[in-house]
Amino acid sequence: MISKNKFALAEWIMDHVLKNGADQAAVSIVEQRRAGVKCRNKKTDQLKESVSRSLSLQIYAKQRYSGYSTNDLRKEFLSKFIREAVATTAYLAKDEYRALPDPKYYPPKNFSSETDLKLCDEDYEKIEMSRRIKTAAEIEEAALAQSDRIISVSAGYSDVCSESVRIHSNGFTGEVRSTAFSMGANVTVKDENDARPEAGFGVSSRFHSELSAAQTVGKEAVQRALRKIGQKKIASGRYDMIVENRAGARLISTLKKAMTGSALQQKSSFLEGMIGRKIASEKLTMTDVPFLEKGFGSRFFDGEGLCARERVMIEKGVLCEYYINTYYGKKLGMDPTSGSSSNTVFECGSKSPEEMIKNIKKGILVTGFIGGNSNSTSGDFSFGIVGALIENGLIVRPVNEMNVSDNARYFWARLAEVGNDPYPYSALRIPSMLFEGVNFSGF
């Protein structure tokens, strides 16, 4: 359970905000403990450990809104801080749409106590710094043993334990306690032309005991770097494209950006008015799943207190919902759903990436996107890519310095298949995806 002292302080702050003239307010107090280690050249290169506490304060006064934050939680400081914050809000322009959510959208009382989402490792405090250092060192050691082509290895381990409370003046009260553990490595290797390709690999988990073995992480990072040796651009043209699961987030952003209330209200969404209409192939089904055990996006309520619920966002290519927060919901005359996603879970297929590759006559396996941009108004996007050329079901050479350009209005109709490998280390549980006839520019 969250310390009662945090709730007591939050209530004290709320009382002072309202007494100083605010009509409504939201108070959030977060405490985090972080630790991290980096190893390089067989030495501990970086060691960090910190505890931080912060206050976020949202003030609504006479149709005016402002937000403030501070790391100083002493009451003698906060009294003046709150008084000045409320006074400053009076100088801002009026906005009739600014207000806390209607309490009917908040979770029922004791809603979060009915289910354990398994977001917190209760053994977090037992992890000693020596164990963190050992993990990072093991990752580096495993990587260095893989090849004499290695120029450098940077291995790291980090973890965080977070506790937060949030209260609203119109009745919402919520608390969250979670942990997260991560480790990975970045590797640089040399090839015959003095190029220095590099690659990284990392894993994450809510529970320390469920992290992959350090040796596995180090080896995979090296193998990814070695696969880039000899990379170069190839001829421009249309290729089938397989996007590795860990790289798919960049493509999904071309849809998600256009699905927000802010994009809709500002007339900067190519998906405006598309609810109930097809925007992708039937292979794309995307569901917001907030109650996923151990999920990195799991929650009982969102950042403004709205009760979480499972929502099918896209079903067999048909757009079902938008991401609508309270503010833009009022502007658009729409009920709020949530302005953000929790765990985005995709319907998977039956084939592994390797099986999909075997069926490609000529294509490109994209393992990462570099730079580029996307336009949520038009749907146009262009991203640099790194990956490998596929010919007759085999990976024949690494490629880079190429761009994939298209328009999301039409691009997602080319989704021909999804893999059986949802990415496990993110709130975006996306599988590998196969697109047919994609434009690549090379030479």
Helix axes 75-89, 4-19, angle to 10 degrees: 40
Q: Does 39 fall in a domain?
A: no
Query: 404 and 311 in one domain?
Result: yes
Residues facing residue 53 across a β-bridge? 31
Query: 262 and 208 in one domain?
Result: no
Residues facing residue 57 across a β-bridge? 27, 68
Look up residue 248 and give its DSSP letter: T
Whether the model clears a pTM of 0.75, i.e. scores above it, the answer is yes
Query: 364 and 270 in one domain?
Result: yes
CATH of the domain at 15: 3.30.2290.10
Q: Does 306 fall in a domain?
A: yes
| pLDDT of 2 | 56
Query: 397 and 270 in one domain?
Result: yes
Is residue 237 within 8 Å of 355, Cβ to Cβ?
no
Q: Does 40 fall in a domain?
A: no
Q: Does 335 fall in a domain?
A: yes
How confident is the chain (443 residues) per 10-residue block, as mean pLDDT? 82 97 97 97 94 97 96 96 97 96 91 82 96 97 95 97 97 95 97 88 97 96 95 94 96 96 96 97 98 96 96 98 97 95 97 96 96 94 96 95 94 97 97 96 85
Query: 132 and 160 in one domain?
Result: yes
What contacts 24+ positions apart, CB below 8 Å, involve 104-108? 105/305, 105/306, 105/307, 105/326, 105/336, 106/168, 106/171, 106/172, 106/301, 106/305, 106/306, 106/307, 107/174, 107/300, 107/301, 107/305, 107/307, 107/308, 108/307
Query: 156 and 73 in one domain?
Result: no
Query: 309 and 287 in one domain?
Result: yes
In degrees, to the nearest 5, what angle opens at C-alpha 384 toward C-alphas 381 and 388?
125
Q: How far, in Å, CA of 139 to CA of 185, rounded?
A: 7
Query: 243 and 135 in one domain?
Result: no
Query: 331 and 309 in one domain?
Result: yes
Helix axes 129-144, 214-226, angle to 10 degrees: 40
Query: 324 and 177 in one domain?
Result: no
Q: Does 364 fall in a domain?
A: yes
Report how far apart, in Å, the C-alpha atoms of 368 and of each of 190, 239, 386 are: 20, 16, 5
Q: Which residue has the tokens 């039956």?
A: 350
Q: Does 305 fall in a domain?
A: yes
Q: Does 117 fall in a domain?
A: no
Domain extent for 266: 237-441
- First-to-last CA distance in the chain? 59
| pLDDT of 112 | 63
Query: 372 and 241 in one domain?
Result: yes
Give the chain's domain count. Answer: 3
Q: Which pair of tokens denotes residue 275?
A: 């609810």
Q: Does 116 fall in a domain?
A: no
Q: Which pair of tokens denotes residue 84?
A: 């000045």
Query: 154 and 282 in one domain?
Result: no
